[in-house]
């Protein structure tokens, strides 16, 4: 099993979700996060007080999938989340040692 | 015999008719004044509580709202005990006497010295709402760092030593600055430019300087945690201000309409003034700028509403929007004081500007309440040919500034010695919601 962690632009969430649904990936967890890679931040001004904001709003998608679907999922997410501009985000892949469905104790891939 | 009977009958019917007309006018005036009183209370809670609450950091929003809300209780009790009497009892030209202490004799009968057509109780409760919001305005200057206990003591003393005397001088019978009651220095302050905004704004500056800057200011990020709350608060202030200014006509009259219109026009022009200045200066017209501009305009038109035409209101408002924008940006940065939510930059500066411009634009075409010996309305401001009124207004401004500075310094010193003004630095870091009140505004688990 693999865990894919995708940091994407917030406005791309719907596209990515739809694309994953189209290839049959239903399970995911989504979090609103803030961060930055190489992207520069922006300036905010409140009554003349300037702040440089470099932690930008992003969406973190986490999903655990079977090993044989990994390449397909990575391709789908990158394709759906890409604008070609800086700030599109990143994907990280981890090995997962086990999974348990709380409702009925299913283990491993059966729990996905 | 028959004719005398008829005459008597006519007299009786005439008297009955007259008392019916008076009762109808009284009912109309009283209805508007009760609504106005409620509108002015709405300016403090939730208006100011939301406006200020949105501007602070997430960890201080409840403490900030509490500073406004608690004034609705504290000032009310103080008002009942001595406040109303010290402000509106006859007394001398500086302060009222104790004739209305514990609201003695303040009932359904009108007090013709102030308002002949409404119960004195209505007048009393309307004026109370001003005594609530005025100290609450100051809290913007020391936001995010003052002890709650110190604030309660400060506000109690401030109402007694600064607000009640100032209200008496400007509005009380025989007050030093009361143009309508033979004051030595006749000033026009329709709804509280000096009494409310200069006293609170200038005291706010003294507080900001005396308490010192917030930990980490400037440098650390202290962005408003929710401008959504601030926009809602500002809109409630705008609406509530109709009660504040138009209610200050103390009747449901044409003068109330005039003050209502001037208020609205002042706010509108100031919004544009601030937005345009900011757009040119910093490149973007901010939402916070727009709502701050509206409040600045409402402040500046407060003394003038009820004395000026709608077009003068546009001029006063626009000037206030531009001036206050530079006060809270350039001037504040230049001098480095931490007037955290710009109580001085908006209320002190806007109030001073409005008070002086009232001397320029006040006209007997709008307010003919002052008559000369032969019953003709007297010239009010510069536009009426009475340029000297600008001097009177300036004297009133100086008196309000001096009273606010001296009074606030003395009171801060007393509070500093008795309870200490600032929270512990660790508590300041933790946030006042948790350290002072044991609560959090936005709970993850709930």
CATH label of the domain that carries residue A106 = 3.30.70.120
Mark yes or no for CB contact A45/B224 under 8 Å: no
CB-based contact (8 Å) between B282 and chain A? yes
CB-based contact (8 Å) between B218 and chain A? yes
pLDDT of residue A63: 96
DSSP reduced 3-state for A94: strand
Q: Is the CATH code 2.30.40.10 the one for domain B43-437?
A: no
By C-alpha distance, the chain A residue nearest B338 is A49
Helix axes B148-158, B120-138, angle to 10 degrees: 130
CB-based contact (8 Å) between B221 and chain A? yes
Which is nearest to B340 in space by CA: B199, B224, B193, B194? Answer: B224
Which strands form A29-35's sheet, in the order they lie side by side?
A29-35, A56-65, A2-8, A89-95
DSSP-assigned beta bridge partners for residue A95: A2
**Ordered per-residue pLDDT tens for chain A, 112 residues:** 999 999 999 999 999 999 999 999 989 999 999 988 877 788 899 998 889 888 899 999 999 999 999 999 999 999 999 999 988 999 999 999 999 999 999 999 999 8
ipTM greater than 0.85:
no
Residue with tokens 């994407």: A8
For B165, residues 6+ apart whose C-beta sits below 8 A from its C-beta are B86, B94, B95, B403
pLDDT of residue B301: 98
Residue B350: how many other CB atoms lie within 10 Å: 32
Which is nearest to B214 in space by CA: B32, B341, B98? Answer: B341
Check if the beta carbon of residue B244 is closer than 8 Å to that of residue B191.
yes
CB-based contact (8 Å) between B141 and chain A? no
How many residue pairs bridge chain A and chain B with CB atoms within 8 Å of each other? Answer: 24
DSSP reduced 3-state for A20: helix
Report how far residue B107's alpha carbon sits from residue A75's, in angstroms, rounded to the nearest whole number. Answer: 80
The Cα of A43 is separated from the nearest Cα of chain B by a number of Å equal to: 11
Which is nearest to B304 in space by CA: B252, B352, B239? Answer: B352
Mark yes or no for CB contact B218/A49 under 8 Å: yes
Residue B52: how many other CB atoms lie within 10 Å: 27
Report how far residue B192's alpha carbon sits from residue B339's, in angstroms, rounded to the nearest whole number. Answer: 22
Query: Which residues in chain B have Cβ-Cβ distances shorter than 8 Å to A49?
Result: 218, 222
Report how far residue B169's alpha carbon sits from residue B93's, in angstroms, rounded to the nearest whole number. Answer: 6
Which is nearest to B282 in space by CA: B335, B330, B341, B344? Answer: B330
The Cα of A49 is separated from the nearest Cα of chain B by a number of Å equal to: 7
Q: Which DSSP state fits A9? A: -
Number of H helices, E strands in chain A: 2, 6
**Ordered per-residue pLDDT tens for chain B, 446 residues:** 455 556 678 889 999 999 999 999 999 999 999 999 999 999 999 999 999 999 999 999 999 999 999 999 999 999 999 999 999 999 999 999 999 999 999 999 999 999 999 999 999 999 999 999 999 999 999 999 999 999 999 999 999 999 999 999 999 999 999 988 888 899 999 999 999 999 999 999 999 999 999 999 888 889 999 999 999 999 999 999 999 999 999 999 999 999 999 999 999 999 999 999 999 999 999 999 999 999 999 999 999 999 999 999 999 999 999 999 999 999 998 999 999 999 999 999 999 999 999 999 999 999 998 988 898 999 999 999 999 999 999 999 999 999 999 999 999 999 999 999 999 999 999 999 999 999 999 987 76
Token pair of B250, please? 């103390």
pLDDT of residue B181: 84
Return the residue in A41, A43, A47, A54 with the most chain B beta carbons within 10 A, the one to mutate for interface testing: A47
By C-alpha distance, the chain A residue nearest B274 is A47
pLDDT of residue A39: 73
Query: Which residues in chain B have Cβ-Cβ distances shorter than 8 Å to A51?
Result: 221, 223
Taking an 8 Å Cβ-Cβ cutoff, which residues of chain A contact chain B? Answer: 44-49, 51
Q: Which DSSP state fits B419? A: T
Q: Which domain holds residue A66?
A: 2-111
pLDDT of residue A26: 85
For B386, residues 6+ apart whose C-beta sits below 8 A from its C-beta are B378, B379, B380
CB-based contact (8 Å) between B293 and chain A? no
Which is nearest to B50 in space by CA: B201, B235, B223, B271? Answer: B235
Q: Which DSSP state fits B376? A: P
Query: Which residues in chain B have Cβ-Cβ distances shorter than 8 Å to A48?
Result: 282, 328-330, 332-333
For Cα atoms A68, A70, A76, give the angle at the middle one, nearest 5 degrees: 130
Question: Which residue from B221, B284, B292 is facing A47, i.e. has the nearest CB?
Answer: B292
Check if the beta carbon of residue B324 is closer than 8 Å to that of residue B292.
yes
Count structural domains, chain A.
1
Mark yes or no for CB contact B221/A51 under 8 Å: yes
DSSP reduced 3-state for A2: strand
Report how far residue A98's alpha carbon sits from residue B243's, in angstroms, rounded to the nearest whole number. Answer: 67
- DSSP alpha helices (H): ranges in chain A? 13-22, 70-81
Which residues of chain B from 315 to 344 reach within 8 Å of chain A, CB to CB? 328-330, 332-333, 342
Residue with tokens 């030595």: B184
Check if the beta carbon of residue A74 is closer than 8 Å to that of residue A62.
no
Check if the beta carbon of residue B141 is closer than 8 Å to that of residue B73.
no
Residue with tokens 């040692």: A97
The Cα of B71 is separated from the nearest Cα of chain A by a number of Å equal to: 27
Parse chain B into domains and list their residue ranges. Answer: 43-437
Q: Per the omega criterion (within 30 degrees of 0), is the bond before B46 cis? A: yes
The Cα of A24 is separated from the nearest Cα of chain B by a number of Å equal to: 33
The Cα of B163 is separated from the nearest Cα of chain A by a number of Å equal to: 29
């Amino acid at each position: 099993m693999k865990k894919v962690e995708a940091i994407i632009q917030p406005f791309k969430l719907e596209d990515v979700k739809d694309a994953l649904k189209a290839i049959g990936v239903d399970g995911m967890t989504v979090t609103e996060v803030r961060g930055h890679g190489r992207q520069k931040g922006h300036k905010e001004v409140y009554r003349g007080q300037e702040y440089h904001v470099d932690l930008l709003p992003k969406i973190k998608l986490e999903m655990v999938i079977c090993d044989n679907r990994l390449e397909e999922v990575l391709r789908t997410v990158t394709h759906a989340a890409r604008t070609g501009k800086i700030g599109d985000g990143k994907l990280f892949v981890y090995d997962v040692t086990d999974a348990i469905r709380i409702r009925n104790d299913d283990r491993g891939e059966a729990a996905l | 015999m028959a004719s005398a009977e008829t005459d008597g009958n006519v007299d009786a019917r005439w008297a009955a008719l007259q008392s019916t007309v008076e009762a109808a006018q009284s009912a109309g005036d009283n209805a508007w004044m009760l609504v106005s009183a409620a509108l002015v209370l709405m300016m403090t809670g939730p208006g100011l509580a939301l406006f200020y609450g949105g501007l602070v950091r997430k960890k201080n929003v409840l403490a900030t709202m509490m500073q406004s809300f608690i004034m609705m209780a504290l000032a009310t009790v103080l008002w009942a005990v001595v406040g109303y009497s010290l402000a509106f009892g006859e007394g001398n030209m500086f302060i009222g006497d104790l004739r209305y202490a514990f609201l003695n004799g303040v009932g359904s009968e009108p007090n013709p010295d102030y308002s002949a057509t409404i119960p004195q109780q209505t007048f009393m409760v309307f004026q109370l709402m001003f005594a609530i919001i005025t100290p609450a305005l100051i809290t913007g200057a020391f936001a995010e760092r003052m002890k709650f206990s110190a604030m309660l003591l400060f506000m109690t003393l401030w109402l007694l030593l600064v607000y009640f005397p100032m209200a008496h001088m400007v509005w009380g019978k025989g007050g030093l600055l009361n143009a309508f009651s033979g004051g030595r220095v006749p000033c026009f302050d329709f709804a509280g430019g000096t009494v409310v905004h200069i006293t609170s704004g200038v005291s706010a500056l003294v507080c900001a300087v005396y308490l010192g800057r917030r930990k980490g200011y400037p440098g650390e990020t202290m962005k408003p945690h929710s401008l959504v709350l601030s926009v809602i608060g500002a809109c409630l202030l705008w609406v509530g201000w109709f009660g504040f200014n138009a209610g200050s006509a103390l009747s449901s009259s044409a003068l109330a309409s005039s003050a209502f219109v001037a208020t609205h026009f002042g706010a509108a022009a100031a919004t544009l003034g601030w937005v345009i200045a900011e757009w040119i200066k910093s490149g973007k017209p901010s939402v916070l700028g727009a709502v701050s501009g509206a409040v600045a305009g409402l402040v500046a038109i407060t003394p003038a509403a009820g004395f000026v035409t709608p077009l003068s209101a546009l001029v006063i408002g626009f000037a206030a929007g531009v001036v206050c924008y530079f006060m809270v940006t350039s001037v504040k940065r230049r001098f480095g004081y931490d007037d955290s939510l710009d109580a001085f930059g908006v209320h002190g500066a806007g109030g001073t500007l409005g008070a002086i411009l009232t001397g320029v634009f006040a006209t007997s075409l709008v307010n003919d309440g002052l008559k000369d010996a032969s019953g003709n309305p007297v010239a009010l401001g510069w536009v009426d040919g009475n340029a000297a009124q600008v001097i009177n207004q300036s004297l009133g401004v100086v008196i309000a500034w001096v009273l606010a500075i001296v009074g606030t310094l003395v009171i801060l010193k007393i509070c500093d010695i008795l309870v200490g003004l600032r929270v512990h630095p660790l508590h300041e870091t933790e946030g006042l919601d948790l350290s002072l009140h044991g609560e959090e505004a936005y709970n993850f688990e709930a």
